[in-house]
């Protein structure tokens, strides 16, 4: 089982219905699972502690975040020692340090080889986005290499029922739109690590062998990512998706929630 965190296990109000019982069931039956999340604002141990405090105990070894994928990416791209502008809180900066990058402060004269869009929190949003845009355009105008990395491709996230917030994916969409308009013939690629893209699912497969099932609340990330990567999926109606869909992105199963009645009532679509 690959289980999304926010919208499936918890939201800002606390544990979601059935989440604690579901995790206890997986633990008691020795069912292999990972909490697979696009979060890059918390280290695995931080996120596990936060979810446990909400009432859903998760060992940190069961948590796979998009931020943790930076280590493999930096190694594969030879980015050890690269100067990195990091958008995100302290844990995001620590992900970059653990990956071998050298974080630089966000200043008007900042220069960096890598821009890591990790999270929307931990910095004054508009001023820092303006500084980031300036850095990116200066390097591209000068023909200098630049690595743009987006850990969390989500555009929004569920705060509580009926309430939502922007994520780093929304900030990246702003930046990418400017770059595409300014350089229509050579837009630099923005590397996406989290769901629905392959790197996070490839990392999950390295951790868990056999048939996988993705359990999530977002069609555009959890379900689409599972579909693209040959993984069955379960759409949960406690987050962004409030019901089954007749659209092009279809889950294998739909459950209203993780409570027992939801499992009993589930029907294959």
Least confident of 44-48, 243-247, 259-263: 259-263
Residue 52 lies in a domain: no
Give backbone dihedrals phi and psi of 92, rounded to 5 degrees, phi first.
Answer: -65, -40
- Examine residue 153 and state whether it is found in any structural domain, yes or no: yes
Query: What CATH number did the domain enclosing 179 receive?
Result: 3.40.50.1000
Same domain as 98, residue 35? no
Judge if 129 and 188 occupy the same domain: yes
Asked if residue 228 belongs to a domain, the reply is yes
Q: Are residues 222 and 160 in the same domain?
A: no
Look at residue 44 and tell me if it is in a domain.
no
Is 186 in the same domain as 207?
Answer: no
The answer to whether position 110 is within a domain reads yes
More confident residue, 246 or 115: 115
Pair (215, 177) in one structural domain: no
- Residue 268 has a pLDDT of 41
User: Are 203 and 215 contained in the same domain?
Assistant: yes
Residues 147, 34 share a domain: no
**pLDDT tens profile 206-232:** 999 999 999 999 898 999 999 999 999
Is residue 95 a part of any domain in this protein? yes
Domain annotation covers residue 5: no
Q: DSSP secondary-structure letter at 189?
A: P
What end-to-end distance do the CA atoms of the chain give, in Å? 19
**199 in the same domain as 185:** no
- Considering the domain architecture, whether residues 185 and 257 belong to the same structural domain is answered as no
Grade residue 245 by pLDDT with cuts at 50, 70 and 90: low
Regarding whether 256 and 221 lie in a shared domain, the answer is: yes
Question: What is the domain count for the chain?
Answer: 2
Residues 205, 167 share a domain: no
Averaged pLDDT score across all residues of the chain: 91
Tokens of 17: 């219905």
pTM value? 0.89
Does 140 lie in the same domain as 98?
Answer: yes
Q: What angle do CA 91, 94, 95 make, to 5 degrees?
A: 90
Over the stretch 116-166, which tens digit does the pLDDT of each residue have?
999 999 999 999 999 999 999 999 999 999 999 999 998 887 676 777 888
Q: Give pLDDT, residue 242.
A: 63
Between CA 183 and CA 189, with CA 187 as vertex, the angle to 5 degrees is 160
- Among 41-50, 109-118, 172-181, 246-255, the range scoring the smallest mean pLDDT is 246-255
Beta strands in the chain (DSSP E): 2-3, 10-11, 14-15, 34-37, 63-65, 83-87, 102-104, 114-117, 147-150, 156-160, 163-166, 190-192, 213-216, 232-236, 253-255, 267-268
Alpha-carbon gap, residue 148 to 116, rounded angstroms? 6
Name the residue range of residue 206's domain. Answer: 23-39+60-65+195-233+249-269
List C-alpha distances in Å: 169 to 79, 107, 155, 183.
Answer: 22, 22, 5, 20
CA proximity to 161, closest of 30, 233, 84, 257: 257
Residue 133 located in a structural domain: yes
């Amino acid at each position: 089982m690959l289980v999304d965190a926010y919208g499936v296990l918890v939201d800002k109000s606390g544990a979601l219905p059935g989440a604690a019982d579901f995790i206890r069931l997986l633990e008691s039956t020795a069912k292999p699972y990972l909490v697979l999340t696009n979060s890059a604002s918390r280290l695995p141990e931080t996120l596990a502690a936060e979810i446990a405090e909400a009432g859903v105990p998760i060992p940190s070894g069961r948590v796979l975040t998009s931020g943790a994928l930076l280590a493999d990416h930096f190694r594969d791209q030879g980015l050890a020692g690269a100067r990195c502008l990091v958008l995100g809180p302290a844990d995001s900066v620590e992900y970059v340090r653990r990956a071998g990058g050298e974080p630089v402060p966000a200043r008007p004269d900042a220069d960096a080889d890598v821009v890591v869009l990790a999270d929307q929190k931990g910095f004054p949003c508009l001023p820092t986005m303006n500084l980031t845009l300036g850095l990116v355009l200066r390097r591209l105008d000068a023909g200098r290499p630049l690595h743009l990395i987006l850990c969390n491709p989500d555009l929004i996230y569920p705060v509580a029922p009926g309430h939502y917030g922007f994520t780093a994916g929304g900030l990246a969409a702003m930046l990418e739109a400017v770059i595409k308009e300014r350089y229509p013939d050579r837009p630099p690629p923005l590397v996406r690590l989290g769901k629905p893209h392959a790197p996070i699912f490839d990392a999950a497969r390295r951790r868990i062998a056999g048939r996988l099932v993705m359990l999530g609340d977002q069609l555009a990330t959890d379900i689409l990512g599972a579909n693209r990567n040959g993984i069955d999926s379960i759409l949960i109606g406690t987050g962004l998706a409030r019901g089954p869909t007749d659209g092009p992105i279809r889950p294998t199963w739909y459950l209203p929630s993780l409570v027992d009645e939801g499992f009993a009532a589930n029907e294959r679509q």
